[in-house]
Amino acid sequence: MPSWPALASQAFNGLALGSLLALVSSGLTIILGTLGVLNFAHGALFAVGAYAAFVMLQYTQSFLLAIAVGCGFMLVLGFLLERLIIRFFYGRPHEDQILVTYGIGIVLVECVRAVFGGNAQRVPTPSWGQGATQLGFLIYPTYRLQLIAIIATLLVGLYLVLYRTSMGLVVRAGIENPGMVGILGINLRRTFLLVFAIGVVAVGLAGMLYAPVVAVTPDMGANFMAQSFVVIVLGGLGSFPGAVVGGLIAGEIVSLTSAFNSSYSEVMLYALMALLLVLRPQGLFGSEGRV
Amino acid sequence: MSIARSGGLRSHTPELAILLTLIAAPVVLPHLGFSIDLLTRVLNWGLIGLGFDILFGLAGLLSFGQAAFYGAGGFVTAYLLVSGTLTSVWLALAAGTISAGAFGLIVGWLAVRRIGIYFTMITLAFGQMAYFIENSPLSHYTGGENGIPGVPVPMLGFGEHAIRVGAGLPMYVLFAVIFFGGYVLARRIVCSPVGAILLAIKENTARVAMLGHNVPAYKLTAFVIAALYAGLAGGLLGSFQSYMPPDAFALETSGQLVVQTIVGGANTLIGPLVGAAVWLWLRDNLQLIPGLSTLWKLVLGIAFIVLVVALRRGICGEIIHWWTERRTLSARQAAEAVTETIEAGRGAMEASSRKQRDTTLPLPSPATADSDIALEACALARHYGGLKAVDGVSFKVRAGTIHAVIGPNGAGKSTLFKMLLDEVSPTSGHVLLFGSQVTGHGVSRTAQFGIAKSNQLNQLFPNLSVRKNLRIAALARCRGPLRIDLLRTADSLVEVEAQIDAIMALLNLARRADTPAHILAYGEKRRLEIGMALATSPKVLLLDEPLAGMSPSERAATCALIRDIARTCTIVIVEHDLDAIFGLAERITVLYEGRLLADGTADEIRSNQQVQDAYLGGLHAHEPA
């Protein structure tokens, strides 16, 4: 049995990982819910985001500026991908959508590898995130606390966009019933473009914010993508609240399990998913038979 | 009457071609940059690919978790050998393959419950789970990140005279022999009834279930077959490189398999092998070119996207397509010309002349007297939230009669119909077929009990020929919900073929036996839709608007057909054409706003004031609804 401070520390790690997974998964889930496309390039886009932060930081020396420019870059990338490739796949079988996004993922990762090489890059922690913070009974890295706060703000922002704007209303209606939205005379073309780009920016942001915590490599996104699949299966396909709650649950499971036996941390996550598939296949917030 | 069945040398052309290629490859291909070891590797990928192609190419199930079974087979084999538990490589390979199959059974049992995106995500997640299990909890056995070194090579023979299958050409020969055996077996599976049903599942899953096949069990069969192939390939990998690497379990491995299959061509069996050859050749040869060393995968990725966007069939698929297109172009053009003639209206006459022929169907005659109740709906209700689509409807259908269900739009006819074969489960109430309960068993069990339905909207297998469409239906009756007869050919069941021929004669489709369903004229598609329901030899046949969209002459012909069918089985029919209904049906049930309004003989209904008021709204009965 691990000590309480160790457990608390792991719980914070779980929160940091969980909020990150929530951000990655909400990008994945709004694309899936609205466009019906499971984006297999999501992991690659995560890595692209991290590299964008890496490059911009070298030019601007300011973490915030790097992130702002990086977001612009991800937005443009999202627009390009949707216009050039994804939009031709809305009417095709799910398998084709998965295959083409998987192909995009390979190309993105290999482009990154061709430019930056396969070796790990370091992104320094921003100046305002150095050191550790005293939290009563434990000391915790400052940047990770800030990470939790930043992502929470971003998720609230995404929530406001989805639930308090007319565009968000269209997106949520599109998740419920894309056919009906079209019948009502709303131009889904622009909405789809925007949703895809928002999803790309969300995952890119996650990559940028996480870059200072881990080694940045071209393949860093693959495991995050697999985990975010688990998250959206947990939360229910296409459900934004499901992605957030599922992300936090997944993060805590991985972190708390590793407090007891680190070799089971990832296994536990997938075991939970298997259990949920048997007991509640539509996920926590999903409705049966949506996808 | 029927086309030439399989058999003879010609049908084994693919096997011969593969055999010759496998023999020629080590002689020819090394000059093109393929080393013997590379060829052996290609065969290893091709072997997993055989199973994967049955799962993905044939059954349409895209798994991103094949690495789990590749790794499981590999590590079980390697562990048994290196730990000294088994000394025979062959036995260890068998054990590894079986373990992978057992693992596939568990994962598949969970995965095949879901379709499309869900299926892919679940397989991917289980693949990752297997990777982490290998890496940490089981690292004591698997070596974790280090893998298992020192896996021995197989021996041929016993004791002193045993021959070691060494690296290089001997290993290639071993892999080639196993691949060839695997290919022959895979082709048998594709040609078996199971293969035919898996292909139909890819075309139209719902219809396969409605015909009485146990769809999840067939999908699981394909999943386990794929896992067995992957397990065998994994076991061989360890022996080949005398080292079992942990990346066998990596997501990358599953992804590579998918890409190779698409590049080579899905549903061709050899596609994955060809794709692997392209992948590994590019990797090994582009790496030698300065400046391109890191770009080989980028080139592959772009090629992959182009293939998915434009050339969906892959290399082998395009070749096979071009070849068959060339051979069958004239036949297809002739079939399309016939369709145009029929659509132009001239075919209507010969469609009605069909009626003269008197065909006896090899159906079980209803072994019951006239007064028996074939189908009984007991207080059936289906509520959607506050909406009561059907609200406590009871009626009885006498055996051997034509029973019509009519009612204005929104009366609940379609929902009622779907409840009769348990396609939709009722909120309350139940359905009895000859006195035994049907409700709660699901649509495919219901089909096996003997209720078949022809749908309002055609639910055909559009790319399969008329004969194959009917075969899928007839196989359900003769083989039951599930039979794993992998080694017989799909067209070898005499009673099934006789049934198909009889039904094609009855429906006047014999001329179109080999025409793909999507080329048929509309009226022919409607007849095929009914024919598929009929081919399951139902006790009760449900016809949902069989006359919808037909021309007057086609209607007359179809009504005659329905009367023909009624001589051998009980019919329940929903139809808006009241002329036809009053001419056909002996008893009529009238629904109005989800409730039963009237139930009686055609004459009683015709003169029923309530029915006229509610349903016809004061109009005369000849106004089409």
The per-residue pLDDT for A145 is: 87
- Judge whether B589 lies within some domain: yes
Residue A277 falls within a domain, yes or no?
no
- Least Cα distance to A17 among A200, A209, A181 occurs for A209
Tell me which of A21, A28, A267 to substitute to probe the interface with B (most B C-beta atoms closer than 10 Å).
A267
Q: Own/partner pairs for B608-614, CB < 8 Å, 24+ apart? A: B614/B408
CA pair distance A97, B66, nearest whole angstrom: 19
> What are the respective helix, strand and coil percentages of chain A, to the nearest 5?
75, 5, 20
Cα angle B334, B467, B4; round to 5: 80
- Within-domain flag for A214: yes
Q: What's the CATH number where B601 sits?
A: 3.40.50.300
Interacting residues of B476 by C-beta distance below 8 A, sequence separation 6+: B211, B212, B213, B447, B448, B536
Asked if A264 lies within 8 A of B129 by C-beta distance, the reply is no
Tens of pLDDT, residue by residue over B55-111, are 999 999 999 999 999 999 999 999 999 998 988 999 999 999 999 999 999 999 988
pLDDT of residue B8: 59
B458 Rama sector, left if φ>0, alpha if ψ -120 to 50, beta otherwise = beta
Sign of CA dihedral B569, B574, B579, B585: positive
Q: Which of A117, A223, A277 sits opposite B122 (nearest CB)?
A: A277
- Contact list, A237 vs chain B (CB under 8 Å): 117-118
Sorted by sequence, the CB contacts under 8 Å of residue A11 that are 6+ apart come out as A252, A255, A256
Helix (H) / strand (E) element for B428: namely: strand B428-433
3-class SS letters over B167-229? CCHHHHHHHHHHHHHHHHHHHHHHHCHHHHHHHHHHHCHHHHHHCCCCHHHHHHHHHHHHHHH
| Same domain? B418 vs B563 | yes
Cα–Cα dist B244/B79, whole Å: 9
* C-alpha–C-alpha distance, residues A111 and A106, integer Å: 8
Concatenating the DSSP letter of every residue in A17-71 gives: HHHHHHHHHHHHHHHHHHH----TTHHHHHHHHHHHHHHHHHHH--HHHHHHHHH
Q: Which two tokens stand for residue B374?
A: 């074939």
DSSP string, B276-319: HHHHHHHHHHHTTSTTTTTTHHHHHHHHHHHHHHT-TTHHHHHH
Determine whether A118 is exposed, middle or buried from the number of CB atoms within 10 Å of its CB (0-12, 13-18, 19+).
Answer: exposed
- Tell me the chain B residues in contact with residue A117 when contact means C-beta distances shorter than 8 Å: 294
My answer on whether B375 and B269 are in the same domain is: no
> Using CA of residue B340, residue B343, residue B346, residue B348, what is the dihedral sign?
positive
* Chain B contact residues (CB < 8 Å to A): 56, 60, 62, 64, 110, 113-114, 116-118, 120-122, 124-126, 128-129, 132-133, 135-137, 139, 251-252, 255, 258-259, 262, 294-295, 297-298, 300-302, 304-305, 308-309, 312
Q: How far apart are the C-alpha atoms of A253 and A231, rounded to whole Å?
A: 11
Does residue B492 surpass a pLDDT of 70? yes
Mutate to test the interface with A, among B118, B252, B279, B300 (most CBs of A within 10 A): B118
Report yes or no: B238 and B151 within 8 Å, Cβ to Cβ. yes
Classify B388 as helix, strand or coil: strand
What six digits make up the tokens of B75? 């590590």
Contact A32 B117 (CB under 8 A): yes
Contact B126 A111 (CB under 8 A): no
pLDDT band per the 50, 70, 90 thresholds, residue B364: very low
Q: Encoding tokens for residue A206?
A: 């996650």
Q: Per-residue pLDDT for B210 more than 70?
A: yes
What's the CA gap between B555 and B434, in Å, rounded? 31
What are the chain B neighbours of A233 within 8 Å (beta carbons)? Answer: 118, 121-122, 125
**Are B434 and B565 in the same domain?**
yes
Report the DSSP pairing between strands B451-454 and B436-437: unpaired
**Whether residues B436 and B554 fall in one domain:** yes
Length of chain B, in residues: 625
The pair of three-digit structure tokens given for residue B579, joined into one six-digit string: 């002329």
Q: How far is B109 from chain A (nearest CA, A)?
A: 10
Indicate the helix (H) or strand (E) that contains A156. helix A142-164
Query: What are phi and psi for residue B489, nearest 5 degrees?
Result: -85, 155
Q: What is the pLDDT along chain A (291 residues), one digit of tens a residue?
A: 678 878 888 888 899 999 999 999 999 998 988 888 899 999 999 999 999 999 998 888 888 899 999 999 999 999 999 999 998 988 888 888 988 999 999 999 999 998 998 889 888 888 888 888 887 777 888 888 889 999 999 999 988 988 888 888 887 787 777 777 778 877 778 888 988 999 999 999 999 999 998 899 999 998 899 899 999 888 888 888 999 999 999 999 999 998 888 888 888 898 888 888 777 878 888 764 444
DSSP output for B580-597? HHHHH-SEEEEEETTEEE
* Same structural domain, B299 and B408: no
- What's CA B110's distance to the chain center, in Å? 19
Q: What is the pLDDT of residue A277?
A: 77
Report the range of poorest mean pLDDT among A87-91, B161-165, B207-211, B503-507.
Answer: B161-165
Would you say residue B5 has pLDDT above 60? no
Surface-to-core class of residue B144, CB atoms within 10 Å of its CB (0-12 exposed, 13-18 middle, 19+ buried) = middle
Quick one: closest CA in B to A96, which residue? B308
CA distance A210 to chain B (A): 22
**Chain A, chain B: beta-carbon pairs less than 8 Å apart:** 119
Asked if residue B24 is part of any domain, the answer here is: no
Taking a C-beta distance cutoff of 8 angstroms, is the pair B408, B613 a contact? no
Helix (H) or strand (E) holding A168: helix A166-176
Find, among B51, B439, B421, B12, the residue nearest to B232 by Cα.
B51
B297 and B438 housed in the same domain = no
Q: What is the DSSP secondary structure assignment for residue B397, as one 8-state letter?
A: E
Q: How distant is the Cα of A134 from the closest Cα of chain B, in angstroms?
A: 33
Q: Is B369 helix (H, G, I), strand (E, B) or coil?
A: coil
What per-residue confidence (pLDDT) applies to A152?
Answer: 93
pLDDT band (50, 70, 90) for residue B141: confident
User: What are the residues facing B432 on neighbouring strands?
Assistant: B376, B437
Domain coverage including residue B152: 35-173+227-312
Domain check: are B166 and B308 in the same one? yes
Q: Determine the residue among B112, B129, B287 to mutate to test chain A binding: the one whose Cβ has the most chain A Cβ atoms within 10 Å.
A: B129
Which of A114, A222, A266 is nearest residue B132 as measured by Cβ atoms? Answer: A266
Q: Which residues in chain B touch residue A104, judged by CB atoms under 8 angstroms apart?
A: 305
- ipTM attached to this prediction: 0.87
A45 within a domain of the structure (yes/no): yes
Out of B129, B252, B308, the one facing A270 most closely (by C-beta) is: B129
> What does the pLDDT look like over B422-446, one tens digit per residue?
888 899 999 999 888 888 888 999 9
Full strand arrangement of the beta sheet holding B587-592 = B451-454, B540-544, B570-574, B402-406, B587-592, B595-601
Query: Considering the domain boundaries, does residue A279 fall inside one?
Result: no
Q: Which domain holds residue A197?
A: 16-220
Residue B616 has what pLDDT?
57
Q: Which of B3-12, B55-64, B161-170 has the highest mean pLDDT?
A: B55-64
CA distances from B286 to A63, A114, A213, B160 (A): 39, 14, 35, 45
pLDDT at B380 over 60: yes
- Note the pLDDT tens digit of each residue in B313-356: 888 999 999 988 888 888 888 888 888 888 776 444 444 444 44
Tally of structural domains, chain A: 1
Tell me the sheet residues that pair with B373: B398
- Whether the pLDDT of residue B621 is over 70: the answer is no
Chain B residues whose beta carbon lies within 8 Å of the beta carbon of residue A277: 110, 113-114, 122
Q: What residues of B are in contact with residue A262 (Cβ under 8 Å)?
A: 136
For residue A287, tell me if it sits in a domain.
no
A114 vs B255, B259, B298: nearest CB: B298
Q: What is the C-alpha separation between B516 and B460, in angstroms, rounded?
A: 10
Residues of B in contact with A230 (CB under 8 A): 125
Determine, yes or no, domain membership for B168. yes
Q: Chain A residues with CB inside 8 Å of B295's CB?
A: 110, 114
Inter-residue contact B100 to B72 (CB < 8 Å): yes
H or E element at residue B45:
helix B36-52
For residue A89, tell me if it sits in a domain.
yes
Cβ separation A270–B114 shorter than 8 A: no
Q: Is the Cα dihedral B54, B57, B61, B64 positive or negative?
A: positive
Task: List the single best residue of A229, A230, A239, A254 to mutate versus B (max B Cβ within 10 A).
Answer: A229
- pLDDT on residue B274: 94
pLDDT, chain B, mean: 87
Q: Is A2 helix (H, G, I), strand (E, B) or coil?
A: coil
Residue percentage of chain B with pLDDT more than 70 = 92
* Highest mean pLDDT pick, A9-13, A240-244, B189-193, B477-481: B189-193
Angle, CA B610 vertex, CA B605 and CA B612 arms, to 5°? 65
B246 located within any domain: yes
User: C-alpha angle with apex B156: B155 to B159, nearest 5 degrees?
Assistant: 80
Do the Cβ atoms of A226 and B125 come within 8 Å? yes
Tokens of B529: 């839709």
Confidence (pTM):
0.89
Which residues of A are less than 8 Å from B135 in CB distance? 263
pLDDT band at B9 (very low <50, low <70, confident <90, very high): low
Number of domains, chain B: 2
Rounded to the nearest 10 degrees, how much is the dihedral formed by the CA atoms of A246, A250, A252, A256? 150
Sequence length of chain A is 291
Tell whether B497 is covered by a domain: no
Residues belonging to chain A with any Cβ–Cβ distance to chain B shorter than 8 Å: 32, 38, 85, 88, 94-96, 98-100, 102-104, 106-107, 110-111, 113-114, 117-118, 222-223, 226, 229-230, 232-233, 237, 262-264, 266-267, 270-271, 273-274, 277-278, 281, 291
| Residue A187 maps to a domain | yes
CA dihedral B323→B324→B325→B326, nearest 10 degrees, is: 60
Q: Which DSSP state fits B323? A: H
**Residue B378 located in a structural domain:** yes
**End-of-domain residue from the set B312, B332, B360:** B312
Does some domain include residue A108?
yes
In a domain, B411, yes or no: yes
Selected for mutation to probe chain A from B107, B132, B260 (highest A CB count within 10 Å) is B132
How far away is chain B from the Cα of A90, in angstroms, using its nearest Cα? 12
